[in-house]
Structure 1
Amino acid sequence: MKLRARKATAAIASVLTLSLAATACGSDDGDSGSGGDKIVIGIKFDQPGVGLKTKDGKYTGFDVDVATYVAKELGYDAKDIEWKQTPSAQRETMLANGDVEFITASYSITDKRKEKVDFAGPYFLAHQDLLIRNDETGITKAEDLNSKKLCSVTGSTSAQNVKDELAPKADLQTLGGYSECLTGLENKSVDALTTDDAILAGYASQPEHQGKFKLAGLKLSDENYGIGVKKGNSDLKGKINKALEKMKSDGSWEKFVQANFSKANYKYEPAPAIDAS
């Protein structure tokens, strides 16, 4: 009797194990790609006005608004979004590894990047500029940086642009995040912070920074922001482009820009034409 009981127990356990395994596999299939319960989107966590994770755990900024709109068009509500931090130097790798579905993170479209990822958009045109202290009078043009300490972020096109073209003799420091550069600017360990004017305007407009910094007002480059998707995912790219067109036509793009940049008195460019190629 005891032997039969042990055999029956083992059989039941085997059936339960197979059932659980099947259920788990079914769950994985249901969560993959469009139509799953969640979508993972890459943004910046340290760019006020563009992409910021606040102290209370909320996410704000123009890129956040754009990504939320796009996700809605793809069938995901705001509550279905999982936001993932995507540092500049890691964006291509995170897309290639499938860590995120798409990236909306002040992601400038360049030929070099297009070798590794595909871009929907562009959805915004920014320009490289400088953020300097309000009392700074010695920086009025790019060449002035050759005798100054300049800060930017590892992996950014702004840092490379300065090094290669604008001020090759500048004392350039590249750090992990813009907030680190801003701290250096405030304590005078660096003389200027360079990146896109939209990002700089976001920092300058923060209550704790108002009156401390100013934009130099130099249009040092054109930076077309795109939404990065995994290389070869033309279906997702097409769906995102369709969502971006709708965002422009229904007035949402203008609303998002005003909500995030108006306090900085930022003179932004009109919405760029989307490249459907």
Structure 2
Amino acid sequence: MRRTLFRTAGGVLMVLIAAVFVMPLLVMLRIALTAPADYREMPIDWFSAPYWESLLGVLRSDFPGKLLNSLGVSVVVTVIVVVLSALAGHALARLRSRSRERFLFFVLSTRMGPAVVFALPIYLLAANVKLIDTHVGIVLVYTFYSLAFGIWMMHGFFLDIPAEVEEAGQLDGLGNWGVFTRISLGMVRPGLIATAILVFIFTWNEFFYAFILTRSSAATFPTAIPGYFGAFQVDWGSMFSASALGVLPPMVFGLIVRKWLTTGLSGGAVR
């Protein structure tokens, strides 16, 4: 009886916690499919006929192109960061030197300052080399922005691999590169997936640098959301429709790979 009571209470608590996180998303979707004249009606009529004009207006605008920009930039940045982080993380995990911790602290220090501190130097540098409003420029900035986090994550996962396993591979005739690709990478696969997921989400949601360094051709979807705020009114239907479209890709991606994300985050990088 006591065990059943605890399980029931735990189930109710999980449902309440899930409702807290899901309810804002449901409200956003409901308002996105509500006619402008009914935005402020309370309580919300969840069963009224959907109003599709706001969503169709967003799809007919340049917003889908910005979604594609976000997808392309996020995928490219994720691949680059994961590859470089795996190489650097493995090297640091096997480095037997007192300077390793100092170097890791230096790497992490690039993420400690607020983005606004680096905005002006990055903008001036990008303007001098003509990378403003280009995909190459925003990819380079995002790679620099996420690389410290990726190295820190992968360093922790590679530390969990016993050095004896790699030494056994060397005794079997594998070189350093063979040990890394055939043994080490396979053992940290959950960590690679977890790092890739988090880097993808961080890049997808990033607004500040995209707002500063892009104009139109390389603009990502977060920079389009403020465009629905006018001087005297807000186009709530279009804004929430665009937000729902922007939330959908990472949500689907996270649902697909949630098993590997849970496994990876339970590893050594976040002990």
Please state which band the TM-score falls in when normalised by the shorter chain.
under 0.3
Higher percent of residues as helix:
2
Q: Using structure 2 for the length normalisation, give the TM-score.
A: 0.26
* Structure showing the higher strand proportion among its residues: 1
Higher relative contact order (CA 8 A, sep 6+): 2
